[in-house]
Structure 1
């Protein structure tokens, strides 16, 4: 199989160490090089774990970071060579963080089911 490029959205929740509830999430767009969507999903989870390790250490340690999930994974169908894996960050605030987390969990379940059907 040929290597393909997949665009993935990694989502992290920001917590205040004092216990104050924050409704802020950071979203990162990442390119993942993989042969299949399943492999791309697994690599995206590895990237998320690596990013979480980085975020929970200085200089970011003044907040607590949690991996919330993968927003999406899409094949880019772009054959040109990619030179970077980390494309974009944005911080967004949601009035009801719990509802957003539930929606994100459901999206991740759909992604996992789609990958299982194509495997």
Structure 2
């Protein structure tokens, strides 16, 4: 019994070892490729971080003119826009000019759209 059982036991151990090694290798590759995807994928940036102007005069301009980096509801029509010129200046312009920058008719980058300054309260 020992002569016939020895090759069979050894074969079972060998098959089990190969199957375990293949499973471990597959899982390692899966985790490795997943980690590689996370490492190589750029982190999402908010518009303010992307243009490097998250504080100071831009914040004041945005607050004074009720601006949004992401826009407003469809039924709200902005009256102003903030654009960044190719020279790097930030300007408050009409919405029409901001749209021209956004659509590529004028060089620059659309930073935000604005509702304009809040109307003074009626007395």
Fold match (TM-score > 0.5): no
Query: Per residue, is there more helix in 1 or in 2?
Result: 2
TM-score (norm 1): 0.25
Query: Per residue, is there more strand in 1 or in 2?
Result: 1
Larger Rg: 2
Higher relative contact order (CA 8 A, sep 6+): 1
